[in-house]
Structure 1
């Protein structure tokens, strides 16, 4: 069984993206749930443009993908990306973030863009 290798510069670019705690947390959260920008805005207490910028960088790198549901765009982990095995390996070593979704639900803010 051979593993597909990622070029060193591409791996470095992914790891650089993950050097930002917000982006790393977003990716970990997207590993178990799809999210829209408004949910991340609430979770991180950040501006919509700042959250969109993080998501754009992750999307441009192929780590996340987006899908439209009505007028809203939801983000999810891109499991068909050549980087997914690397991403998955990194995420295995990080703590679960599901409590953040539970907090949102408790505040009635889960999928607050409906």
Structure 2
């Protein structure tokens, strides 16, 4: 498993860095060309971000932590393998926390 996973992660990370660098370079060139042509670059102004990223990541981490706790108790009290209990509960609680975040964000944006 490691023989496949290590090269995959290594070359995948190199590809991700190259792709992200080319994306930001192209974006910078587009903005510079618009400004040089005397056109308004307001299409790149996205206004005030309303993403509540700290709430999102906080809820995700709390959900993963709860998944670890529940996965530990499931693996100790049942016959489920430890790896399966931890992974399934981390994914379940992490996903549930993101769904809950979506609901909270939707109500917060409706109020504004």
Q: Tell me which of the two structures has the higher relative contact order, counting C-alpha pairs closer than 8 angstroms and 6 or more residues apart.
A: 1
Which protein is richer in helix relative to its size?
A: 2
Alignment TM-score, normalising by the size of structure 1? 0.24
Normalised TM-score (structure 2): 0.24
Q: Which has the larger radius of gyration?
A: 2
